[in-house]
């Protein structure tokens, strides 16, 4: 059974701060990792994916992967109120397995 663990939150950060979202997983065979953002009442939308150990940056978002420690994280720099949403971590080996999500609140 592939497990993907996320702190459900809510995680509250002030506007302009760095939000750090973490995800651990149990399946060492997982090759690809995804972060989705889901606004309340909406569908998940892809933010980033990462395959290799290390950091991957896209604008204000940085995904970090450490396969040896089996964790993947998402950093959001200069957090904005519009970043308030639930963030879903997902891993892909054969099928996509989702964590339950972390709710982020950015306080103006």
Partner 1 sequence: IAGITQAPTSQILAAGRRMTLRCTQDMRHNAMYWYRQDLGLGLRLIHYSNTAGTTGKGEVPDGYSVSRANTDDFPLTLASAVPSQTSVYFCASSDSLGDTQYFGPGTRLTVL
Cα 61 from Cα 82, distance rounded (Å):
14
Residues in contact with partner 1, shown as a per-residue x/- string from 64 to 93 under the rule CB under 8 A: ------------------------x---x-
Helix extents (H) in 5-106: none
Q: Rule CB under 8 A: is residue 99 a binding residue for partner 1?
A: yes
Could you tell me the smallest distance in angstroms from the CB atom of residue 98 to partner 1? 4
Cβ proximity to partner 1, 18 vs 96, nearer residue:
96
Q: Rule CB under 8 A: is residue 17 a binding residue for partner 1?
A: no
Cα 60 from Cα 35, distance rounded (Å):
14
β-pairing, 102-107 with 61-66? Answer: unpaired
User: Which member of 27, 60, 61, 98 binds partner 1 (CB under 8 A)?
Assistant: 98
User: 80 and 19 in contact (C-beta within 8 Å)?
Assistant: no
Residue numbers 36-55 binding partner 1 by CB under 8 A: 42-46, 49
């Amino acid at each position: 059974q592939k497990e993907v663990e996320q702190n459900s939150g809510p995680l509250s950060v002030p506007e302009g701060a760095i939000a750090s979202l973490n995800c651990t997983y149990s399946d060492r065979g997982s090759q690809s990792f995804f972060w989705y953002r889901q606004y309340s009442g909406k569908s998940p939308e892809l933010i980033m994916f990462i395959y290799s150990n290390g950091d991957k940056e896209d604008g204000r978002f940085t995904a970090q992967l450490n396969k040896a420690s089996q964790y993947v994280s998402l950093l959001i720099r200069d957090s904005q109120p519009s970043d308030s949403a639930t963030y879903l971590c997902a891993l892909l080996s054969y099928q996509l397995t989702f964590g339950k999500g972390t709710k982020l609140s950015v306080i103006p």
